[in-house]
Amino acid sequence: MTRHVFSFPRYLGVGLFGLMIGQACLQAQAQTMPIDSSSSSALPPGIERSAFGQLANGREVDCYRITNDNGIEMRVINYGGIIVSLKTPDLQGQMDDIVLGFDSLDDYLSDAYRRANPYFGALIGRYGNRIANGRFSLDGETYQLPTNDGPNTLHGGDVGFNQRLWHAEPFSSSEGRGLVLTYTSEDGEEGFPGRLSARVSYTLTNDNELAIDYRAKTSRATPVNLTQHSYFNLQGEGHGSILNHELTINASGFTPVNETLIPTGEIADVSGTPFDFRRPTAIGARMGEKNTQLAYGKGYDHNFVLSKNPGAAGHLALAARVTEPQSGRVLEVSTTEPGLQFYSGNFLDGSLTGKSGRAYTHRSGLALETQHFPDSPNQSNFPSTILKPDETYHSRTVYRFSTTQSEGQSRSTQPHSS
């Protein structure tokens, strides 16, 4: 029988709920690579497929473009499950691409990208976020992973899910149009035990939502923590910093870190700190404050312990809301996960040039990664991330796109202050 694997301590007061699979995928730009009409003819209406490039081993990468009935358009490639672009309207109806990324596969494979390693738009696994010293013990055995972030393992190791070629199947359903991505991670891949079968679906709905459903099964007990690593700029990618974006996070606690960004094990109250986003606050408003945690992260790069709404156990709950005052764009993030990593693009340094032809400079994008907590395999007081062979991993996150014109509708779902 399928069940949710993650049990939560009483302070979280919530469990994850099982989800249906189905998702929206994206496609390559028609102006750079023509659509193969022979293959596209079999695709559902509103979905197109085109070639995006070739890996060094000769395997082809496809890009899927999906458009909903309101004109919102998303493009996804099956390499890393990367969301290449996502176009949404501003207050005047002007469509802009609001995620950071590239139009060329070569850019994602370049040495410059590998050195910067920003994980633009990618699926992250087996384990999103950090594992201390790349090491954990499970069932009496110690496992050593590659250390690719100082002394720690970040986002699955040297070759995580973000660098794997996924099998893609487009679909159309009553919920929307999308793409189902599947990948099998063999026993021992990047040091993790168990053969893990992962299935992720992107669904673009006509309610202007992107629903991401994650499911996994394993042959042996193993840590699993899947997430999505899109960087958002609601002015449009390449249009300056995100410091004026107003952010609300429905969290009264966060997990402080040490100098290598590994949680100390404490869950700290956000009250009176730069980490209190329970009311809408400009991201840059307190960035310059003298604060040890901000110094360690060189800005925000921290996990927030989400506060679930009363009665919301087993259901999606609103985690965060972002508003960009100039464009009027609004992004709301709901999830079944207990945590949210807020990253303010601290290590973007202008060395990468995006789709707009503009360099991605310091803090030109923000990531909101729904997740279980960092280093959970080594932190007994955190919600467990161990998946066992008789269990099924389920998680769901929904990104909702709107503008401040629909303020009345959005306000009813805005995170409340604790």
pLDDT of 315: 81
Amino acid, single-letter form, for residue 238: G
Q: What is the DSSP string of 68-110?
A: -TTS-EEEEESBTT-EEEEEEE-TT--EEE-B---S-HHHHHS
pLDDT of 405: 84
Name which of 206, 199, 198, 200 is nearest 177 in CA terms. Answer: 206
> Could you tell me the two tokens for 310?
């009363």
- Any idea which residues carry the catalytic annotation? 229, 369
CB-facing half-sphere around the CA of 300: CA atoms within 13 A: 29
Name which of 169, 207, 200 is nearest 88 in CA terms. Answer: 207
- Is 9 a residue whose pLDDT tops 50? no
Domains along the chain with CATH numbers: 37-411 (2.70.98.10)
Least confidently predicted of 15-19, 55-59, 316-320, 361-365: 15-19
Please check whether residue 130 is in contact with residue 149, taking contact to mean a CB–CB distance below 8 angstroms. Answer: yes
- Is 399 a residue whose pLDDT tops 60? yes
Please name the residues in contact with 410: beta carbons below 8 A apart, sequence gap of 6 or more.
321, 330, 332, 402, 404
246-299: per-residue pLDDT in tens?
999 999 999 999 999 999 999 999 999 999 999 999 999 999 999 999 999 999
- What rounded mean pLDDT belongs to the chain? 89
372-390: per-residue pLDDT in tens?
999 999 999 999 999 999 9
Please check whether residue 75 is in contact with residue 65, taking contact to mean a CB–CB distance below 8 angstroms. Answer: yes
| Count of beta carbons in the 10 Å neighbourhood of residue 130 | 24
Local confidence band at 150 (pLDDT 50, 70, 90 cut-offs): very high
pLDDT of 31: 30
Name which of 37, 36, 67 is nearest 52 in CA terms. Answer: 36
Please check whether residue 232 is in contact with residue 122, taking contact to mean a CB–CB distance below 8 angstroms. Answer: no
Least confidently predicted of 41-45, 140-144, 333-337: 41-45
Q: What is the pTM of this model?
A: 0.87
What's the longest Cα–Cα distance across the chain?
60
- Is 310 a residue whose pLDDT tops 70? no
Name which of 382, 375, 379, 239 is nearest 305 in CA terms. Answer: 382
- Is 25 a residue whose pLDDT tops 50? no
